[in-house]
Amino acid sequence: MIPRYSRPDMVANWSPETKFRIWFEIEAHAGDAMAELGTIPKENADAVWQAKDVPFDIARIDEIERVTKHDVIAFLTHLSEIVGGDAARFVHQGMTSSDVLDTCFNVQLTRAADILIADMDALLAALKTRAFEHKETIRIGRSHGIHAEPTTMGLTFARFYAEMARNRDRLDTARAEIATGALSGAVGTFANIDPRVEEHVCKQLGLKPEPISTQVIPRDRHAAFFAALGVVASSIENLATEIRHMQRTEVLEAEEFFSQGQKGSSAMPHKRNPVLTENLTGLARLVRMAVIPAMENVALWHERDISHSSVERNIGPDATITLDFALARLTQVVEKLVVYPEHMLENLHKFRGLVHSQRVLLALTQKGVSREDAYRLVQRNAMKVWEQGADFMEELKADPEVTAALSGPEIEEKFDLGYHTKHVDTIFARVFGDS
Amino acid sequence: MIPRYSRPDMVANWSPETKFRIWFEIEAHAGDAMAELGTIPKENADAVWQAKDVPFDIARIDEIERVTKHDVIAFLTHLSEIVGGDAARFVHQGMTSSDVLDTCFNVQLTRAADILIADMDALLAALKTRAFEHKETIRIGRSHGIHAEPTTMGLTFARFYAEMARNRDRLDTARAEIATGALSGAVGTFANIDPRVEEHVCKQLGLKPEPISTQVIPRDRHAAFFAALGVVASSIENLATEIRHMQRTEVLEAEEFFSQGQKGSSAMPHKRNPVLTENLTGLARLVRMAVIPAMENVALWHERDISHSSVERNIGPDATITLDFALARLTQVVEKLVVYPEHMLENLHKFRGLVHSQRVLLALTQKGVSREDAYRLVQRNAMKVWEQGADFMEELKADPEVTAALSGPEIEEKFDLGYHTKHVDTIFARVFGDS
Amino acid sequence: MIPRYSRPDMVANWSPETKFRIWFEIEAHAGDAMAELGTIPKENADAVWQAKDVPFDIARIDEIERVTKHDVIAFLTHLSEIVGGDAARFVHQGMTSSDVLDTCFNVQLTRAADILIADMDALLAALKTRAFEHKETIRIGRSHGIHAEPTTMGLTFARFYAEMARNRDRLDTARAEIATGALSGAVGTFANIDPRVEEHVCKQLGLKPEPISTQVIPRDRHAAFFAALGVVASSIENLATEIRHMQRTEVLEAEEFFSQGQKGSSAMPHKRNPVLTENLTGLARLVRMAVIPAMENVALWHERDISHSSVERNIGPDATITLDFALARLTQVVEKLVVYPEHMLENLHKFRGLVHSQRVLLALTQKGVSREDAYRLVQRNAMKVWEQGADFMEELKADPEVTAALSGPEIEEKFDLGYHTKHVDTIFARVFGDS
Amino acid sequence: MIPRYSRPDMVANWSPETKFRIWFEIEAHAGDAMAELGTIPKENADAVWQAKDVPFDIARIDEIERVTKHDVIAFLTHLSEIVGGDAARFVHQGMTSSDVLDTCFNVQLTRAADILIADMDALLAALKTRAFEHKETIRIGRSHGIHAEPTTMGLTFARFYAEMARNRDRLDTARAEIATGALSGAVGTFANIDPRVEEHVCKQLGLKPEPISTQVIPRDRHAAFFAALGVVASSIENLATEIRHMQRTEVLEAEEFFSQGQKGSSAMPHKRNPVLTENLTGLARLVRMAVIPAMENVALWHERDISHSSVERNIGPDATITLDFALARLTQVVEKLVVYPEHMLENLHKFRGLVHSQRVLLALTQKGVSREDAYRLVQRNAMKVWEQGADFMEELKADPEVTAALSGPEIEEKFDLGYHTKHVDTIFARVFGDS
């Protein structure tokens, strides 16, 4: 985790405080369930809740861990310091460390998913607003980086909206993948703990009981979770790349917002760098790099080995913190993106009408000109535009062979940009519904 | 694609024949829709269907492509050779090559998903059968490769069943991700083709229209698809690793099936290698390697660049063919796995009862023995077992300090394997339902 | 491997014919060494060489393999069919299949490296030629896609030359990494084969004996090999990306060569797509995807498991064939790249001199103008250029506050492009030597 | 970076203090060179060195950065606070931020490489010691996890020594890859800075001047660097996997060292988990995950974009800190590994001599018994061992058909373990030299 690429809520989700609080809740709820089942005395179960609003002393827990070399034992020792050793003597009974650790990890991932989903909603809102704002803002569509046919900036925003809406669904699915808990003992047989304890704890924590676990929750769930983050990150790179292209000097159809105070922007007005979207491109790589290790984590030996743990200590916080930051940064970029419709038109007209050559070609053939002749006619006029800087429409109108097939107004009609935007409403209705 | 790791149906799905047949269907259905809309004459649309049952001449298409250097044009030329140039003259009208190529690719991926889902169902059936067969077959559960507590072979199968059932859901989701088509023109504006054509073609091909496309269908869909395959592959590695461990000489709790004729098995009966599951481990890596390139494919420039294409020409067939083969091979391995319950018991008893030391420890403390004393008692008897090869239960029964707290029958009860299997039914009900 | 992205020499390197020929050489040379050591009769060793120029019958070998289910045995059987069973009866004595398979794989990888190194030399030659050709061709340097300071097209070629020269070194190192062979027996102890046999065979095949092997050659070598290919591929992507940027409509500083016959180029002269470099971008992803599986292959169990094999059957041919094709394609692109120096100058002057604003700023401060004042002066003139389309030099010359510090010739000097190219010779000497 | 998996020296290498100290050295040495060239006054160059032993105030620099939003400017401002604004007024003249940042990053990577190389030397020393210690310690070699032929524990250590020695070479190469610096200006033309300044600074910092840079040092160097770390990490996984296998309950040929105080080890003496090597397996995945992003960083746009930066802020420290920790941990594991030669012999004899069946088979054929008969003889005796627990040698000696071909001593000779270790010296000489 790089502090400069992090936001407080997600960082807090991975703090020791949060972790120990979740551990506490798992232990306390488990105690309730055991008391209900008659396994431990109710007063002992109740006593644990005294620690509910007592802040844990992280330094103290660390101190104990340095002696015991076991994090869960260190926490339990500290807990008994708070509620009294006698009251706490049934805490954790029949449980294994993994019951606490794994369930806690999934609580944290689930909450991380909630934050990411909220981030995504904000991004979707920004994209929708900009899409409607620029629904009719004409720009040239490009394939291979080369001018193809006109489209609109609204369609650009709309397609990223649709892509991010799919990503929202993927985050929902990813959240469901890891919203499970397990308190099933050393090898998952519930030998020392009743399955109903697991059910109660999971319910209280908003999780589903893992139907079958070993010592740990199966890691295919986590692989699927991080894979989903990797897809989201790739979409961020996609949108970031679009903006980087739009901002490059020769294109200049949009710019990331520059605050007034930002150094150097007015003495070198041409030198406004798309550093936010470049940064997002890098952050996407960082999120994506969690995918393969998460998949390599799936094949644990027998009922568990601990190779996954160090990986998850890293990618759990890092991938979610980075993605949270990236989504929020991207939302800002979209909200404040400075769009230059006039530059879009300039670019579109860069080759003085050549972009319409294919429509003219089609029109000629539809008027009965043979394919070969039509091609020859378009070509000779196109070449004047390309090599001599002429205007395509004027050349066509001045070419008798062309005008023999197409009248002036017919030629002009082929240069009508409305031809390309006639289905924008249809597409918007598909993407945003009829609202 | 490596022929030895492939099966005919999936290979056929990626053959030129299949591809051209799908192209034909796209063109023919598009013609129907255009005729319905009055864009082209109905007789021309109808005429194209003459090619419905005519085999395409792949060599001829290749020959034309060598001249035109364009695969779709080569196909269309060949199509017009079949139905007649005049009849075919409206074929592909207003369409771009990508309308055909991208929609076809998604048809192939969707059909590939169908095969994989059927594969998974077969694997699930095999796992379920073996799970019930070995529901009560006791084996030692292991964490860190070290004996922990008893479990059953049925639970092992059941947990892989549950994991693969999740993978089936992921394949369903992956299928839905890519079951879309697009006939939206050069930059996705439908400038030259009515959106209703796309709707008709997609319906006929079992796809949903892509709500908003550019020249291509957005690649986040494909990234999600291949990521799902990567998770499935990782689960295959997981199960393969379990079997490889079970078969290793010192463990020998199971073996891959050996056909009678297989060389060398009886002169060196100890030398039966788990080559199928080792192979599956490698195949998992092959499938997984498609994930990152598929994610790198998402960020295409503007309305499309063609960098994704070469990647997909490889990973489309390769990842699906390999995964299909791997799932089928794994199903065979599971179905025919030779399980050795007696070796499982031998292994479990390897340290003559030490595996129950924790239960004894707990029992002593529950009888009022202090934690320190209980630990000391267990330790001194455990050490006799560990160092001198004694029997743990016998030692405990002969230790007066132990018997002061626990009677003989109470000690014996702690060695009861039934303690560990008492919730197997509960877990099976969770995994398989109450059927 | 995708046929359209392959070249015959590299494909031949991975053909069954090549493989069996190498197997033959290993067996025949091993026989010589054994005869020399007196382990087998010399006449038997000699007899094997009768097969030296006899083409192997692949179909026959496959037929035998279908029965024996063992590729090496199938080959040896076929070999004995050629040289006679009696003459061949000492072939392979004391050897294991892996001695043949692993040594052969490394011969193939070594030869693949030779091809790739030759490819790289051709690319280097092309880059050098173009670098000197455009040594003084001025273009604008860009950071963040935004105009920064002038540079030359020759420097662009030169930096890719330097990068590819490093890649050549990496290929050399990679070649050395895998140019080893092993004939050391079932677990690497030479129990049944004298180490001198390994030494002789390796020498004959141009390999070094692996100092210590198990049943197999250690896979860290192969991981390093494929990692090197991944770096080379990434450099290919780097150069491809540069060209794609140069060709995009708004930049148009260079174009991939278009053959006259290529369809559509003249009726839509603006629509020349950089499809080769886009393709190279995708091919780079394909090569790179071999890296992680090759690294996952390193941790084999004990003296070997066979999980690496299926991976290598794929990435061995695929990564080298793809990289060979990519290097050759890139060389062609570089050789034939159409460079537009006039467009480079147009782009450089797009903002009428603003690109020199920083030099002016510096000159003012050097003349004693305070930083704040200098900034204000540059800013107010820059803004006229930016917002009103004025010419920066003219504005400066007309600004009395500026001219109070800088004379007209002094201002003009700041717009001198020679300022930026004065060290080009120095850099070329560093890159290409003083030749 | 996860604090628990880090060591102080490598962490210090990535601290703000270290970074600013390197920045200072770059600036101060550059000043010297400029003074030497007469570009700036010598007294100003000298004055900067006053800060040589003054600790920088990180908090103050951060404070300034919050205002200027530029890290290098913040540092330079703080520097001028120390040496006086007037004295410092020529600092950084003609330089760009990247000159400082990129050169500093490579200094840090170079120093990181030095630490890693020292780590590797320590690991090599440990492996060598253990190799000679167990040179003759017999254990069974395994292919596919199945007993194959005898080998020695010394050979196991020796092969990891050889592998790590290769990794040491790779680290050397990797160090050379990134030991370059660049002070070449905004686009690498040295427009505002003399190339001799770069040469002087690099020399002082122990770097080579980058022959040709843009705004940044080319990223193929960094890709190669992190790829090398990925290979090293994979070898760590390889050795860790071997140890994990050796420690598993049924094998128990070695154990990670357990300190006396470590909880639970004596009451459950069978439950000593190889947690260090499992952890190393996970750490290997973490190091390896840097490889692909580092390769994705190579293709920067034109003379640089900043997408690589966020990636490197993470993987620079994380991959090197994790690898440093992993190498040190592995060295400890190797040094203290508890080896159980007696268990090795037990395992080797698990199937009462069957491991020698192939030698017997060979001996019979060498005595003239037909292959079929020899196979049948070995098989029928092997089956008694396998199924009835008989002793293979005894059975052979009691089989008249066998003894007709092989005498008792001849049979016994086939069970001689010395047969398998006769070339250990040769191999050791290859690996360790004749020392």
Cβ pair D351:B270 closer than 8 A: yes
* CB < 8 Å to D155, chain C: 188-189, 212
Q: Which residues pair with A180 in a beta bridge?
A: A208
Q: C144, C259, C302, C435: which one is catalytic?
A: C144
Residue A10 has pLDDT above 90, yes or no: yes
Residue A3 has a pLDDT of 87
C 36-75 residues with CB < 8 A to B: 68-70
Mutant choice from A231, A311, A330, A356 vs B, greatest count of B C-beta within 10 A: A231
Cβ pair B309:C2 closer than 8 A: no
- Taking phi over 0 as left and psi of -120 to 50 as alpha, with beta for the rest, D84 belongs to left
Name the residue of chain A whose CA is nearest to B94's CA: A362
Q: If you average pLDDT over residues A53-59, what whole number do you get?
A: 95
State the nearest Cα–Cα gap between D357 and chain B, in angstroms. Answer: 6
Residue D372 has pLDDT above 90, yes or no: no
Cβ pair B273:D244 closer than 8 A: no
* CB < 8 Å to B77, chain A: none
Cβ pair C241:D301 closer than 8 A: yes
Residue C310 has pLDDT above 80, yes or no: yes
State the nearest Cα–Cα gap between C305 and chain A, in angstroms. Answer: 16
Subunits with 3+ Cβ pairs within 8 Å of B are: A, C, D
* CB < 8 Å to A379, chain C: 266-267
Q: Does D282 touch chain A (CB under 8 A)?
A: yes
Residue D271 has a pLDDT of 86
Q: Look up B265 and say whether it is catalytic.
A: yes
Distance CA C140, CA C344 (A): 7
Distance between alpha carbon C396 and the CA centroid of its chain, in Å? 49
Among D170, D320, D334, smallest CA distance to D240 is for: D334
Residue B225 has a pLDDT of 98
Residue C85 has a pLDDT of 85
Q: If you average pLDDT over residues C225-241, what whole number do you get?
A: 98
Query: If pLDDT is split at 50, 70 and 90, which confidence band does A372 have?
Result: confident
Q: What is the mean pLDDT of chain A?
A: 95
Backbone angles phi, psi at D298, to 5 degrees: -65, -40
Q: Would you tell me how many other CB atoms lie within 10 Å of the CB of residue C281? A: 28
State the nearest Cα–Cα gap between D239 and chain A, in angstroms. Answer: 14
The token duo for D270 is 């069978």
pLDDT digits (tens, 9 = 90+) for A331-344: 999 999 999 999 99
The three-point CA angle D9-D15-D21 to 5° equals 100
* CB < 8 Å to A268, chain C: 354, 357-358, 382
Among C152, C139, C123, smallest CA distance to C426 is for: C152
* CB < 8 Å to A155, chain B: 188-189, 212
Which amino acid is residue C364, in one-letter code? L
Q: If you average pLDDT over residues D100-115, what whole number do you get?
A: 98
Per-residue exposure over B412-433, b if at least 16 CB sit within 10 Å of its own CB, e if not: eebeeeebbbebbeebbebbbe
Distance CA B216, CA A141 (A): 12
Residue D262 has a pLDDT of 53
pLDDT digits (tens, 9 = 90+) for C92-112: 998 999 999 999 999 999 999
Cβ pair D70:A308 closer than 8 A: no
Residue D28 has pLDDT above 70, yes or no: yes
Please, what are the domains in chain A? 1-93 (1.10.275.10), 95-346 (1.20.200.10), 354-414 (1.10.40.30)
CA-derived radius of gyration, chain D: 31
Q: Would you tell me how many other CB atoms lie within 10 Å of the CB of residue C148? A: 27
Residues 6+ apart with CB under 8 A from C185: C94, C95, C96, C99, C191, C192, C193, C215, D149
Q: B15, B80, B234, B265: which one is catalytic?
A: B265
Among D161, D162, D206, smallest CA distance to D181 is for: D206
Residue A142 has a pLDDT of 97
Q: Look up C420 and say whether it is catalytic.
A: no
pLDDT digits (tens, 9 = 90+) for C191-223: 999 999 999 999 999 999 999 999 999 999 999
Residue with tokens 């032929």: D149
ipTM of this predicted structure: 0.96
Q: What is the mean pLDDT of chain D?
A: 95
Q: Which span out of A375-384, B417-426, D269-278, D379-388 was modeled with the highest average pLDDT?
A: B417-426
Residue A259 has pLDDT above 80, yes or no: no
Residue A260 has pLDDT above 80, yes or no: no
Size of interface B-D (CB pairs under 8 A): 118
Query: In this prediction, what percent of chain D has a pLDDT beyond 90?
Result: 90
Size of interface A-B (CB pairs under 8 A): 258
Residue A399 has pLDDT above 90, yes or no: yes
Distance CA A207, CA A176 (A): 9
Mutant choice from A64, A67, A238, A310 vs D, greatest count of D C-beta within 10 A: A310
Task: Yes or no: say if C10 and C111 are a contact pair by the CB < 8 Å rule.
Answer: no
pLDDT digits (tens, 9 = 90+) for C41-73: 999 999 999 999 999 999 999 999 998 888 999
Q: Which residues of chain B have pLDDT under 70?
A: 259-266, 435
* CB < 8 Å to D308, chain A: 282
Cβ pair B382:D274 closer than 8 A: no
Query: If pLDDT is split at 50, 70 and 90, which confidence band does A371 have?
Result: confident
Residue A70 has pLDDT above 60, yes or no: yes
* CB < 8 Å to D372, chain B: none
Residue D368 has pLDDT above 80, yes or no: yes
Beta strand C146-152 with C254-255 is: unpaired
pLDDT digits (tens, 9 = 90+) for A91-135: 999 899 999 999 999 999 999 999 999 999 999 999 999 999 999
Q: Does C234 touch chain B (CB under 8 A)?
A: no
pLDDT digits (tens, 9 = 90+) for D126-185: 999 999 999 999 999 999 999 999 999 999 999 999 999 999 999 999 999 999 999 999
Query: If pLDDT is split at 50, 70 and 90, which confidence band does D2 have?
Result: confident
Q: In Å, what is the CA distance from B256 to each residue of B138, B275, D221?
A: 19, 8, 46
C 292-321 residues with CB < 8 A to B: 292-293, 296-297, 301, 305-311, 313-314, 318
Q: Does A241 touch chain B (CB under 8 A)?
A: yes
Among A187, A155, A177, smallest CA distance to A223 is for: A177
Distance CA C56, CA C33 (A): 23
Query: If pLDDT is split at 50, 70 and 90, which confidence band does D362 have?
Result: confident
Task: Yes or no: say if D308 and D297 are a contact pair by the CB < 8 Å rule.
Answer: yes
Q: If you average pLDDT over residues D59-63, what whole number do you get?
A: 96
Cβ pair C430:D209 closer than 8 A: yes
Q: If you average pLDDT over residues C152-157, what whole number do you get?
A: 98
